[in-house]
Amino acid sequence: MLFASMSLEDDLGDWRRSHYSSELHGMDGREVTLMGYVASIRDHGNILFVMLADKDGEVQIVFKRNAEGSDGATTQALFSKARMLKEHSSIAVKGIVRSMKNAPKGVEVVPKEMKILSLARSVPPFSVYSKNIPLDVRLDIRAVDLRRHYLRAVFRIRHNLLKAIRSFLDERGFIEVSTPKMISTASEGGAALFPIFYFDREAFLAQSPQLYKEQLTLAFEKVYEIAPIFRAEPSRTNRHLAEAISIDVEHAFVNYEDVMGILEEMISHAIGYVVDKCKDEFSILGTTPIKPSTPFPRYRYSQLIDILKGEGIRIEWGDDFAAEHLKALSSMLKGYYFIVDWPARMRPFYTKTKDDGSTALSESFDLMHGDLEISSGSTRINRKDELMERLKMQGLKPESFAHHLIVFDYGMPPHAGFGLGLERLLMTVTGLENIRDATFYPRDIDRLVP
Indicate the burial class of 199 (C-beta count within 10 angstroms; 0-12, 13-18, 19 or more).
Answer: exposed
Check whether 17 is labelled as a binding-site residue. no
Check whether 300 is labelled as a binding-site residue. no
Check whether 324 is labelled as a binding-site residue. no
Check whether 423 is labelled as a binding-site residue. yes
Check whether 30 is labelled as a binding-site residue. no
Check whether 251 is labelled as a binding-site residue. no
Check whether 232 is labelled as a binding-site residue. yes
Strand 201-205: give its sheet, edge to edge: 182-183, 201-205, 194-198
Q: Which residues pair with 249 in a beta bridge?
A: 224, 418
Check whether 257 is labelled as a binding-site residue. no
Q: Which residues pair with 199 in a beta bridge?
A: none
Q: Strand ranges (DSSP E) for 4-46?
A: 31-43
Q: What is the DSSP string of 9-70?
A: ----TT------GGG-TT-TT-EEEEEEEEEEEEE-SSEEEEEEEETTEEEEEEEE---TTS
Check whether 231 is labelled as a binding-site residue. yes
Distances (CA, A) of 349 to 52, 150, 190, 391: 55, 42, 10, 6
In single-letter form, the type of residue at position 343 comes to: P
Supply angle C-alpha 258, 332, 330, rounded to 5.
75
Is there a cis peptide before residue 450, judged by omega within 30 degrees of 0?
Answer: yes
Check whether 233 is labelled as a binding-site residue. yes
Q: How many CB atoms lie within 10 A of CB 94?
A: 16
Check whether 95 is labelled as a binding-site residue. no
Check whether 390 is labelled as a binding-site residue. no
Contacts of 357 (CB under 8 A, 6+ apart): none
Task: Please give the annotated binding residues for L-aspartate, written as ranges.
Answer: 188, 231, 376, 380
Task: Please give the annotated binding residues for ATP, written as ranges.
Answer: 231-233, 239-241, 373, 421-424
Task: Please give the annotated binding residues for Mg(2+), written as ranges.
Answer: 373, 376
Task: Please give the annotated binding residues, written as ranges.
Answer: 188, 231-233, 239-241, 373, 376, 380, 421-424
